[in-house]
Structure 1
Amino acid sequence: MTGPDILAESFAPKPLLSVLAGEVVMPPPVWLMRQAGRYLPEYRALRADKGGFLELVYESPSAAEVTLQPLRRFGFDGAILFSDILIVPYAMGQDLWFEAGEGPRLAPILSETDLSALTPDFSRFEAVYETVRQVKAALDPDVTFLGFAGSPWTIATYMVAGQGSKDQGAARRLAYGDPARFGALIDAIVDATVTYLDGQIKAGVEAVQLFDSWAGSLAPLQFERWVVQPNAAIVRKLKALHPQVPIIGFPKGAGAKLARYAEGTGVDAIGVDESVDPHWANAVLPRGLPVQGNLDPLALIAGGEAVRQAVDNIRAAFAGRPHIFNLGHGILPDTPIAHVEALLSYVRNAYGGGEETD
C-alpha cells in the first residue's frame, strides 16, 4: 500500500459513525448496552479490588480499563464510557452513594427539599472527562467512542425520590401536582446535561446516547412534556455546540409513542427496546432514520436458537435501514460469555453473507 492508499485507509469511516450518518452498513456495527460490567470476570476482579462502584467510576485509570475490557475480549464496533447516569445529580449538588444489593441513593430528596437548596459542583464531572481522555488515547481507531447521559425525566425520578422505584410515583405526583416546580428541576437537568455532554465531547467521545430508562411510565401528554420536550432541548443546545456529533435517543418503554419521540426530539438515531416489534418500528419511524437494537437480553442468556431466531427477525425488519445491532436494554450479569461470542459470530456472518456459525 503506497502514499494515497495509506492516506485513504487512515481516513476510512468508522462503521458505527457511518450508520449514524445514515448509511446502511453490512454487517451492521455491534455494541451492547452495559457491555462493560458484571458478566465479565475481569470487571468483577477490578471491582473487588477497588471496592465500591462510585469509587471505581471516579478512579479514571480504572474506569478507562473497564471501558476497554469488552473491546479487547469481543472487538465491538463501539466503546461506551463506563460511568453512571447519576453523576449529573451528584454534580448538581445531591449526595450520591450506592447501598450494597439495593442500588443508588441520593440526598436530600427533592420531594421534600427545593432545588435551590442544592449547591452545584461541576468539578465532579472532571474525573469522567479524564476517563474519556484516557480511553480515547488507547482506543482502536476503527472503534467509535460513545458518551452518554441520563435523560431529564429519568434523572428527575431519582432526584425526587432519592432512589429508583417501580412506578416513579413520587416524580409523577410532583409533575402533576406542581408542574412549575417540576419544570424548573427538568430545566436545570437539561442545562447540567448539556454541560456534561459538551465536556465529554471535548474530551474525545464521538457520539452520545441519552438514556430515558423510565420513559415508559408516563401518559401521552406527560410524555410530551417531560420526555420529548426536554430531550429536544438537549439536542438543540448540544447541536449548537457540536453540530457534527450524532445523538442517539433511547426512550425505553415508549412503545406507541416511539414515533413521536423520533419526530419531536430531533435525535440522529433511536434505540428500540426489546418489547417493541422491530417490523412495526421500521414501519412507523421516519424513513432512513438510523435505528439501534433490539435483541432481548434474556434471549442472549438462553443463547442458541433463541438468539438466531431473534437476530433473523431483527435483520429482516431493518433490512435497508441504517442499523446498529444492540440489545433492547443492558446485558445481564449472568450472561454467558460464550453466548456473546456466538452472537457476534452469527450477526457478522448472517448479515455479511459468510457461513453462519452456532
Structure 2
Amino acid sequence: MVQVPEKLLLRALRGERTERPPIWLMRQAGRYLPEYHVTRDAAGGMLGLCNSPQHAMEVTLQPIRRFGLDGAILFADLPQLAAALGQTLEYVDGEGPTLSPPIRSSGDIGRYLSLSNLHEALAPIYETVRELAGALPDEVTLIGYAGAPWTVATYMVEGRGGGATDHAIIRQWALSDPDGFQPLIDMLTTAAIEFLDRQIHAGAEAVQLFESWAGILPEPFFRRWCVEPVAAIIKALKAKHPTVPVIAFPRAAGLLYESYVVEIVADCIGLDNTVPLGWASARIQGELGRCIQGNLDPQLLVAGGRALRSEVERILQAATGGPFVFNLGHGIPKTTPPEHVAALVAQVQAWRT
C-alpha cells in the first residue's frame, strides 16, 4: 500500500519545519473576487450564502481554484453562532451584520438565548463542511473555525459588528458587572466547543478560533474573557480530537500576546501585523516549539509590486526557521486586486527553507 504523505499545512501546524511554508489567507473567499459576487447574488445575499451549503462550498473553493492555496477555510460568518443561540441575524447594506434583540443584561441571556436549537440552526454549516471534505484537492487542508466567546459576545451585545463601534456598551457591562456578564461567556464557550466538535466530525482537519476584539480589554479582563474561555475550548477539543490542530488568533493583543501564548496551549498562534517576528520566532517557535501564522499587513496586498515583494521576503527570512504558516495579519481587504494575491502565493510557494 502506498502511503499518502501528510498535507503540508497539517505538518506545519503540528510543529514541523516544512520545506516551504504553507499559505492560506484570512477572508481568502470574499468580496475581492468577482466570482464571489456572482455566487452571492445567486444565493440571494449574505444570509442566503451562509445558509446554503451549495453556495458556501462554491465560494470556499473559488480561491483554491484560482491560487492553489494550501488551506481552504470554511465560508461562514461569526455571528451565525449568535443566531443559533436565539438572536435574529440580518445583513444591512453598509452596516454589515446586525443581531436583535441585543443582549444587554443577565436577564436577557435567559430570556432570549438557549443552546437547545444550536445544532439544528447550524446544520447547513456542518453540511458545507461535509461537502467540502469530499470536494477539495487531496493536498489542501480543510480549516473549520468559530469566533472566540468574547468576540461573538461583542456582536451579541452591541447588536452589530465591524469597526464602526467603540464597543462601549459591552465594555461597560463586562467591566462593571463581570459576574452578570459571565453566563454569556459560559454559554458561548459551550457553544463553541460543540460547534467546532461537529465541524471536526464533519471533516474539518484543523480549526481556528478568531478573537478579533482581543485588543479592547484591560489586562485582568483580557485574562478572564479572552484567555480562560479559549483555553477551556482548546482543552475540551483536545480531549475529543487530540490530533486535530487548533490555531488561536488574538488580534491586537499587543503586549498581552505573551501571556496568551503561554496560557493557551494552541498548536499555532496567529500573529497580527504588529507582532515583531523576532520575538515570535524566538519565543513561540524556539522556546515553546509551536507554529506561528501570519503576519503580512493586508494593505501591502492591496499595494502589490515591490513593496509587497520586499515585505514577503522579510517575513519569509524571519519566520521560516521553525514551523510557520504564511498568512495575513488580518483579512483580505475588498479592494485587493486578485493578481496581487496570485503574485503573493507564487512567491511564497517558490520559497525553500
Normalising by structure 1, report the TM-score.
0.94
1:311-322 superposed matches below 5 A: 311-322=312-323
Partner of 2:174: 175
Partner in structure 2 of residue 344 of structure 1: 345
Q: 1:73 aligns with which of 46, 66, 75?
A: 66
Q: Which residue of 1 aligns with 2:94?
A: 101
Q: Give the secondary-structure state (helix, strand or coil) at the position aligned to 1:159.
A: helix
Looking at structure 2, the residues matched to 69 and 272 of structure 1 have their Cα atoms a distance apart, in angstroms, of 25
Match of 2:76 in 1: 83
Q: CA RMSD in A?
A: 1.3
Does residue 245 of the first structure (1) align with residue 239 of the second (2)?
no
Task: For residue 284 of structure 1, report the CA deviation from its aligned partner.
Answer: 3.4
Alignment partners' CA distance in 2, 1:167 and 1:214: 10
Deviations 1:87-128 (A, max 9, x none): 111111111111111111111111155200124321111000
The aligned residue for residue 51 of structure 2 is 58
| Cα distance per residue 1:117-153 (max 9 Å; x no partner) | 1243211110000001111111111110000000011
Using a 3 Å threshold, how does the CA distance of structure 1 residues 339 and 329 change in structure 2: closer, same or farther?
same
Q: Which runs of 4+ in 1 moved over 3 A?
A: none
Distance 1:319 1:141 in 2: 24
Contact 2:281 2:321 in 1 (8 A): no
Distance apart, 1:319 and its partner CA:
3.0
| Unaligned runs of at least 5 residues, structure 2 | none
Question: CA deviation digits over 1:323-349, x for unaligned, max 9?
Answer: 000111101111111111111111122
1:352 CA displacement: 2.1
1:301-328 Cα deviation digits (max 9, x unpaired): 1111111121122112213110000111
Instruction: Specify the alignment match of 1:184 in structure 2.
Output: 183
Q: Deviations over 1:206-230 (max 9, x none)?
A: 0000000000111111111110001
Q: Give secondary structure in 1 for the equivalent of 2:132.
A: helix
Matched, 1:257 2:256: yes
Checking the alignment, whether the CA contact within 8 Å between 2:13 and 2:291 is kept in structure 1 is yes
Equivalent residue for 1:15?
A: 8
- Distance in structure 2 (CA, Å) of the matches to 1:287 and 1:311: 24
Q: How does 1:160-239 map to 2 (within 5 A)?
A: 160-164=157-161, 165-239=164-238
- 1:352 alignment partner, SS class: coil
| TM superposition shift of 1:28 | 0.4
Q: Deviations over 1:179-213 (max 9, x none)?
A: 11111110000001111101100100000000000
**Equivalent-residue separation in structure 2 for 1:198 and 1:148 (angstroms):** 10
* Deviation digits for residues 35-72 of structure 1 (CA, Å, limit 9, x no counterpart): 00111111111112222201111011111111111111
* 2:108 aligned residue: 114
**Counterparts of 1:280 and 1:240 in 2: how far apart (Å)?**
30
Of 126-135 and 308-317, the range deviating more from structure 2: 308-317
- 1: CA distance, partners of 2:264 / 2:84: 25
Count of residue pairs brought into register by the alignment:
345
Residue range with higher mean Cα deviation, 250-259 or 312-321: 312-321
Partner residue, 1:356: none
Supply the distance in 1 between the matched residues of 2:50 and 2:153 (Cα, whole angstroms): 21
Residue in 1 aligned with 2:297? 296
What is residue 154 of structure 1 aligned with on the other side? 151
Query: Residue 49 of structure 2 contacts residue 56 of structure 2 at CA under 8 Å; is this kept in 1?
Result: yes
Q: TM-score, normalised by structure 2?
A: 0.95
